[in-house]
Structure 1
Amino acid sequence: MPSAVRFGVNYTPSEGWFHHWLDFDLDSVRADLDSIAALGLDHIRVFPLWPYFQPNRALIRPRAVEQLVTLADAAAERGLDVNVDGLQGHLSSFDFLPAWTRTWHRRNIFTDPDVVEGEARYLRTLAAALADRPNFIGMTVGNEVNQFAAGPHPDPDRITPAQADAWLTRLLTACAEGAPGRLHLHASYDAAWYQDDQPFTPEHSARRGDLTAVHSWVFNGTAQRHGRTSVPSEHHAAYLVELSKAWADDPHRPVWLQEVGAPAPLIPPAHAAAFTEATVTHALDCPDLWGVTWWCSHDVSRDLADFPELEYGLGLLTNDRRPKDLALVLADAARGRRTTPATRGTALVVPADPAVRSRCAPGGPVFDAYFRLAADGARPTTVLDTRADDKEHLAARGITEVVTPDQVLPTPQGGTRS
């Protein structure tokens, strides 16, 4: 039987943004969750702010953990499952790292043994607090924590890919210790797929944790190069889903489109609904898609200062909890619960070497070839160059045709295969 795709939203509180943990108001949270549930969505992704929950390496605030559980219980009352991101980490251009890792206590958050053990204890504590809740999906280690490991971050904690792997293994183990049998994963922003010197690699995303997370944002050069209604912009989320499959060892590893949004001004508000419909439609055409989780639930209040302009209007709902047109589009998709698309039989070859992964980024030959194929209706997926002749691997994925980027020739219509 085909399985239903999950539809949810990244929960941004309408009052106080993520600072609401400092003045937790259950009535306000319940009203937010009512507005989310009214759209027919089935889950939320929740963000404790790490310094608020663990202000000292030896102190995980019991009251904060209780509030997280209370939020999860309120979600359950409204039919919403909950995924919890532990290490925040980075959100909407702001960094939230505890004082015991910065300035006078400056230590590498990925390699310092005391810091890593503090992180593991924190994640294990959150997971254990929720382990008996039926609506608890599992933990995400953190939100785009890879941005702390390399440029363009202004003060990165630099590590090697081997150190990134050891860190992920330790923290995913901690999550499983706290809540055995749940889905535990980690999440990187798209530098993991596109940036040559990023120590969190595509292999980490596709092989560590219980499923692969991709975060799709067209302000990465896609919309700037191609425009809001282009094939690359409207298929970018689907591209990341299919790109991730090249590195997966499991031929049917589930992929979670964990963040995707309609960022102004590249996607103007008047076009957001059309962009949402196109993005979701193409993502749903990807086999093994676990779910779609929109960024984000509610707009950021204009009472809060210093956010990038685009952050204020990314919500499905306004700051006073009114649904926008794009919310209705997502609600329609959630009601449809489309299932099990056909296998993608054409695979584009991508380099396994992470030192040249920029070939997959906007402007790179893999990126351009993929979208020429998509423009011709080929429904491509991807395969590593090291697996392109592996008949067993290709058969397991249903791949019947393998093409290289230089075989995909440009035409005025967008591309064809030779």
Structure 2
Amino acid sequence: MQDLKKSKRRMNANQMTNAFLSNEEAMDKDICDDLSRGCNKSNNNCPKPCPKECEQHNPCKQSNSHSHDHDCHHDCHNHKCEPCQLETGMDCVKNPCSNDQCCSPLNLSRFNTANAVPFAIETNRVFDTMQFQIFQDASASDGSQLYFIYDVENVNGNIPTGGFVSVKIDEVCFDFSEIEITPGNVTLEGFTVHPVEPEETLCESTFESFVCGERNSFCCAQGRGTPSKFRERGLQVEVSDLVLTLRGHCGCTQVTISAIPAFMDSQGNLVQCSCVGFRFNTLAAPICIPSSGMGITLRQNYQTKLSVSCVSNANVQKNCVEGKANYTVNIPGGIDLILCVQEIVSILRGEQIVVLGSSTPITPRIVDTFSRVCDFTSCGEESTSNQNNNSHSGCGCGCNR
């Protein structure tokens, strides 16, 4: 239907010209127009309509046989042929899908003290802070030794049949459903700590406790804090539904191996376990507490990351059973699963302070679903004048509503 509409527009444009041509001439002109219909100005190899004097000597016009199409090459370079005309009867829009894999945070405009405004606020000030960087080996949910059940998921290439071949492990990937952090028993030497129950939220990694302060006149007179010692006993982290994927190669053959955590039962059989645990030793370090005697907040923020120690080459054996390939996997050194934990412990003191800030408020991003689908910016400055004149001339996207 679209092609018929375009042909109709073309016929109306050429109606006055065809009226003065004979039937044969009108047919030849339509053929030339059809040849130039799909032309592109930037493609020099695309056929161009030739004038009448070229077509009269074209050997292709004198024969209806298709067996000599390869001989039908008429030289029209000695004549002034019209260039290919690009069809302009269609409207195009950019695909609104976004392929961005990253995003940018809020970028605040800079300001100086000349245009800054003071704001009085009540907030928590960090009085002292420290960071633990620790790691621990994995164990089964009951604390027993952790094993793995290996299985070959995919082999892209050929592996010799019979003996074991060595597969070099290139990378190890982790897939799990949840990481649950259970802080241990926290104490501050010389102070009383009251843990605050966290709200029922997912991905909880920040925990707070309220600490009753004690006034130290000697340190307070010097504007200094009271020394104390932070201890945390019994920190535990559990990872649910963990599956390891080992990707390696043997020559040009790509091999993918899955490793599922398991424990050994009383019969000596490996049983898959749905939870992997990490139990850490006591964490202890000195920390400074305000000496004013006011209550403070003890905040613990955790970040976790799964890792493994060096994994030796995997031995893979291929056997054919009833015409199907069957693989046996063995990792001589096993897999040492490790969880790295970064814990930031901060002492927060509530204060009323005055800060300098910009008087210009933060401008949020505008989520305009209309502009994502209907983009009128391609009309340019001409569209503005056309809107004022209530005209669509020169604007192919329909600027006026």
Q: Normalization by structure 2: what TM-score?
A: 0.17
Point out which structure has higher relative CO (alpha carbons under 8 A, 6+ apart): 2
Bigger Rg, structure 1 or 2:
2
Structure with greater helix percent: 1
Structure with greater strand percent: 2
Q: Normalization by structure 1: what TM-score?
A: 0.17
